Amino acid sequence: MISPTFLVDTRKNYGWTQEEMASVIGISRPTYVALEKGEGSLTIAQLTKLANKLGCQPEDILAEQIIDENKYQGILLEAVLSGAGRDGKIPKTKLAKLIYLADFGWYYQHLESITGAQYRKLPQGPVPNYYFSAIDDLFDKGLINIEIKDNAQLISLTDAGKQVKFKNLTKVELDFVRKVAKKWQEKRTNEIVAFTHQQLPYKVCTEGEIIPYELITQQDPENVY
């Protein structure tokens, strides 16, 4: 059962009204209000709808482990700004790897992730479900451009995206993201893909499994990011 406090905190974090939250789940507003009062529970289908909207798995919600959306999007925008080529564009796959390395690299140094994202081992590399939702959301907000070239999606910042202020990210966190992005700025996508695939966290997990952050602490220091 999902705690009423969790529902309220999640709704407020996303800036949704009770009516909007009810629409996401697929229930009436009175039914949702009752949930916030601790009356009733979500069905599996309703839980799945909420998970799809939040870009996570139903079990993540049950465990009350939800990504910090604002921080993740902030890191994504900064990774584009600092990791793009001279034309201001970065392949979508490379961008996903930069965010992963920043999150796990931060954990290596501080024993906590920046975003709280849960990365799964997928054939194309470690990535949270939320990554794809974040790209769509930032595009809809007019903060990024998406261009298709040679079967690759290239991400760049719009003028509005370049002006975003990262209120939920500290200067130290932003500096670390910039450091990771700059290190890989001139590298090709296949190089960063090969690097992340050879890291211990990715290698020891099975396909589809959530990659524990703790595994990065066993990685050779020079190969953390």
**Considering the chain, what percentage of its residues have pLDDT values greater than 70?**
97
Closest listed residue to residue 45, CA positions, set 27, 18, 30, 63: 27
Separation CA 75–CA 178 (nearest Å): 9
On average, the pLDDT of the chain sits at: 90
Separation CA 58–CA 74 (nearest Å): 24
Q: What is the pLDDT of residues 78-110, one digit of tens each?
A: 999 999 999 999 999 999 999 999 999 999 999
Can you give the residue ranges of every domain in the chain? Answer: 4-62, 69-223
pLDDT reported for residue 141: 93
Residue carrying structure tokens 């990024």 = 144
Instruction: Work out the pLDDT band at 2, boundaries 50, 70, 90.
Output: confident
Separation CA 134–CA 140 (nearest Å): 10
Closest listed residue to residue 76, CA positions, set 22, 148, 139: 139
> pLDDT at residue 64 above 80?
no
Instruction: Work out the pLDDT band at 122, boundaries 50, 70, 90.
Output: confident
Separation CA 75–CA 33 (nearest Å): 34
Strands (E) across 130-189 are located at 144-149, 152-157
Strands 152-157 and 90-91, sheet pairing: antiparallel
The CATH number of the domain covering residues in 4-62: 1.10.260.40
> pLDDT at residue 73 above 80?
yes
How does DSSP assign 1-47, residue by residue? ---HHHHHHHHHHTT--HHHHHHHHTS-HHHHHHHHTT-S---HHHH
Q: Which of 23-32, 122-131, 137-146, 156-165 shows the lowest mean pLDDT across its residues? A: 122-131
> pLDDT at residue 56 above 80?
no
Q: What is the pLDDT of residues 28-38, one digit of tens each?
A: 999 999 999 88
Closest listed residue to residue 82, CA positions, set 1, 181, 175, 5: 181
> pLDDT at residue 65 above 70?
no
